[in-house]
Chain A
Amino acid sequence: SAVISQKPSRDICQRGTSLTIQCQVDSQVTMMFWYRQQPGQSLTLIATANQGSEATYESGFVIDKFPISRPNLTFSTLTVSNMSPEDSSIYLCSVKDQRYQETQYFGPGTRLLVL
């Protein structure tokens, strides 16, 4: 299985500021995904980040608000820009690779509170 770490694990931020979340995987993976989980809700996909191409955003999410980088096959960042209290959520990184067949693994999440 893939071992995924995220930084920070949690943060409290002021509205109007930005936070960059890092996702590190212990091995090279082809597909990485960023999900958001609002309080008491299920997971919603923000975007897919594959190395060597621009991130693909889901409906309701835009690059200006959630810029993503994928500089190599083991690392990705998600920035939450110009934050508002509505951005308070858990943000989860996830990976998929043919070595794991169809299984998709998740990081521990970053819990964000925006005041």
Chain B
Amino acid sequence: SQQGEEDPQALSIQEGENATMNCSYKTSINNLQWYRQNSGRGLVHLILIRSNEREKHSGRLRVTLDTSKKSSSLLITASRAADTASYFCATDLIDNAGNMLTFGGGTRLMVKP
């Protein structure tokens, strides 16, 4: 079963606006990773945030992590049409002998030009 839940499931915004996607999870994590997927292609790694970190930035991306609420958010500022994609959060669980990631359901983002 999926570890994470993402909301919204779909988001449509105008170019230039900010997009915020949220991810919640159920059990303790080592880290949480955000990925982008364009139209059924492979996953592109965006940001990794560790359990002892609260915020990370990369270009127009800002990720926050609240371990007390077991939630994370991905903010894309000044969105562009090229940001149209599906975004997934994935958790690396503490109780994870297999070292694999567990994925949320994803948010489909559409940025209208």
Contact = CB atoms under 8 A, between A and B. Distances in A.
Interface residues of B, number: 25
A13 B30 CA distance: 40
Given A102-B92, A103-B45, 4 more contacts: A45-B101, A102-B50, A104-B90, A108-B42
Nearest to A44: B103
Contacts of A105: 45
A56 interface: yes
A33 B48 contact: no
Interface stretch (B33-41, B57-65, B67-75, B77-85): B33-41
A94 B48 CA distance: 16
Contacts of A44: 103
B88 A31 contact: no
Given A42-B88, A90-B40, A56 B45 contact: no
Interface in A26-40: 31, 33
A30 to B, nearest CB: 9
Contacts of B102: 45
Contacts of B90: 43, 104
Contacts of A45: 100-102
B40 A102 contact: no
Nearest to B101: A104
B33 A103 contact: yes
Contacts of A106: 35, 42-45
26 contacts: A1-B45, A31-B99, A41-B105, A42-B88, A42-B103, A42-B104, A43-B90, A48-B100, A56-B98, A92-B43, A96-B99, A101-B48, A102-B33, A102-B92, A103-B33, A103-B45, A104-B45, A104-B90, A104-B92, A104-B101, A105-B45, A106-B42, A106-B43, A106-B44, A108-B41, A111-B40
